Amino acid sequence: MIRTTRAMIVGAIVTLLVGLVAFGSGWVAARAAGTTPFDTFIASFGTAAARQETPSEVREEFAVFWEVWHLVEGEFYHPAPLVRQTLVYGAIRGMLGTLDDEFTTFQAPELAAQNREAMQGKFEGIGAYLRFVDGVVQIDRPIKGSPAARADLRAGDIIVAVDGQPLAQAVAGLDAAAATAKTATLIRGPKGSIVTLTLRRPPTETTFAVAITRDEVPVVTVNAEMLTGGVAYIQITEFKATTTQLLDEALREIVPQHPTSIVLDLRNNPGGFLTTAQEVLGRFYDGVALYEQENGGVLKELKTILGPADLRLYEVPMVVLINGGSASAAEIVAGALHDVRPHTSLLGERSFGKGSVQNIHQLRDGSSARITVAHWLTPSRAEIHRIGITPEHQVSASEESQYAVPCVVARRPPQGQTSCSDAQLAGGLTLLAGTVSPP
């Protein structure tokens, strides 16, 4: 039985009054600083559900995060409303930035969607690469055979407006990557629809409008042709989802011509899908493609993925061209061919040095997180990450006239000349001919 005496009642009243005075003093002091405990209390309601979803094993560590979050929402001076999504994305980027791995990254929904589409090897739009220079978005170059090329869009054309919407307003305050991503989103659309671009072509200040019908635009990542002397020239620019199919189509034309040697050009190839790299290797040999070194030192062996029997070129001598722009999957292919395939040499310059593998996760709002899950080693177990591959035949890039070569793919001779020049391709052809040392 609990008894309540008069003294206890008086004491309780005094305590309550003291508490109210203290709370009032705190309220006045906080209001003088621009906020009140009530502001912070109210701010906490909006994140209650998120805090409840925080896993119990890290709830203590996240307590300080939510503490700062509530301080920002309750105290931070912001004439314009705070955008919570921007705060969340910034927090994610900050977290990933502490991992000291430039390839573990976060992408907001717009850019993530464009990258997913691009990696499929085709998209629907006008077919032009963009660049952001001096505060304006320009056409970098139209893709061959695309609606942009048919509409005579040219490198350097400045995009003033898209469907009448001034582009300067749409990209104001954005960095280069975000500005080009925003512009691409405005321009892209379903096949058969029309987009009107208002352009300015320097040095003139006059603007003009071009209505372009969107279409499906394939991204050509494989170029191949037969050169004199029975040399098959094969260029792979990226390892996208459609690259293997394009390579097989090229090989169906090349293999019946019985090539005596191959130049595989991987220069400036930034990489792409690991599976595609394994498939490409499977057209040139059967064996180990690479090793993946996972957490805990676990080493996993990955094999080549074989192609059709009539499209395999296992024994034909090959020179692989690489340079500082050859990265990731391109380095996987170059390193594997060098380590395993007979009669294969590397020529050019040291490669980029990206020897890590990322899983790409699409998140609930369409954004994506790229997480490094392993480092890869060549079949001889050589580490590539931040080291690169140094070819045994080191040849610097040069277009001096003494390095005359056939004009491969879409290259054309410089004005006043009848042939193209490429020291590395010339070195590869010389090496295959076996006549003299490469330049």
Task: Please report the pLDDT score of residue 418 as a whole number.
Answer: 73
Exposure string for 85-108, b = 16+ CB within 10 A, e = fewer: eeeebeebeeebeeeeeeebbbbb
pLDDT single digits (tens) 415-438: 667 789 999 999 999 999 974 334
Q: Among 22-36, 73-87, 159-173, 209-223, whose mean pLDDT is lowest?
A: 22-36
Q: Percent of the chain, pLDDT > 90?
A: 65
Task: Please report the pLDDT score of residue 38 as a whole number.
Answer: 43
H/E stretch holding 29 reads helix 6-32
> Is residue 14 pLDDT above 60, yes or no?
no
For domain 222-433, the question of CATH label 1.25.40.10 is answered with no
Mean of the per-residue pLDDT values of the chain:
86
pLDDT average, residue stretch 368-376:
94
- Dist CA 93 CA 24 (whole Å): 40
pLDDT average, residue stretch 89-117:
91
- Dist CA 46 CA 73 (whole Å): 10
- Residues of the chain by 3-state class (helix, strand, coil), percent to 5: 40, 25, 40
What distance separates the 2 farthest-apart alpha carbons in the chain? 113
Cis peptide before 203 (omega within 30 of 0): yes
| Residue 114 near residue 184, CB atoms below 8 Å | yes
3 state SS for 125-141: ECCEEEEEECCEEEEEE
Task: Please report the pLDDT score of residue 46 as a whole number.
Answer: 52
- What are the phi and psi torsion angles at 121 (to 5°)? 90, 5
Task: Please report the pLDDT score of residue 176 as a whole number.
Answer: 86
Backbone φ/ψ region at 57: left (φ over 0), alpha (ψ -120 to 50), beta: alpha
- Give me the helices (H) in 240-348, please: 243-254, 274-281, 329-340
> Is residue 398 pLDDT above 60, yes or no?
yes
> Is residue 29 pLDDT above 80, yes or no?
no
> Is residue 42 pLDDT above 80, yes or no?
no
Task: Please report the pLDDT score of residue 50 as a whole number.
Answer: 66
Listing DSSP states for 129-190 in one string gives EEEEETTEEEEEEEPTTSHHHHTT--TT-EEEEETTEEHHHHTTT--HHHHHHHHHHHH---
Find the radius of gyration of the CA atoms of the chain.
Answer: 30
Backbone φ/ψ region at 309: left (φ over 0), alpha (ψ -120 to 50), beta: alpha
CATH superfamily of 124-218: PDZ domain (2.30.42.10)
Task: Please report the pLDDT score of residue 118 as a whole number.
Answer: 73
Query: Euclidean distance between the first and final Cα of the chain, in Å?
Result: 103
Tokens describing residue 134:
């001096």
pLDDT single digits (tens) 91-102: 999 999 999 999
User: What are the boundaries of each domain within the chain?
Assistant: 6-97, 124-218, 222-433
Beta bridge partners of 106: 369
pLDDT average, residue stretch 348-362:
95
Task: Please report the pLDDT score of residue 8 as a whole number.
Answer: 38
Task: Please report the pLDDT score of residue 15 as a whole number.
Answer: 39
pLDDT average, residue stretch 201-225:
92
The confidence band for 439, taking pLDDT boundaries of 50, 70 and 90, is very low
The confidence band for 36, taking pLDDT boundaries of 50, 70 and 90, is very low
- Dist CA 188 CA 207 (whole Å): 21
pTM of the predicted model over 0.75:
no
> In one letter, which amino acid is 416?
G
pLDDT average, residue stretch 130-141:
90
Task: Please report the pLDDT score of residue 394 as a whole number.
Answer: 97
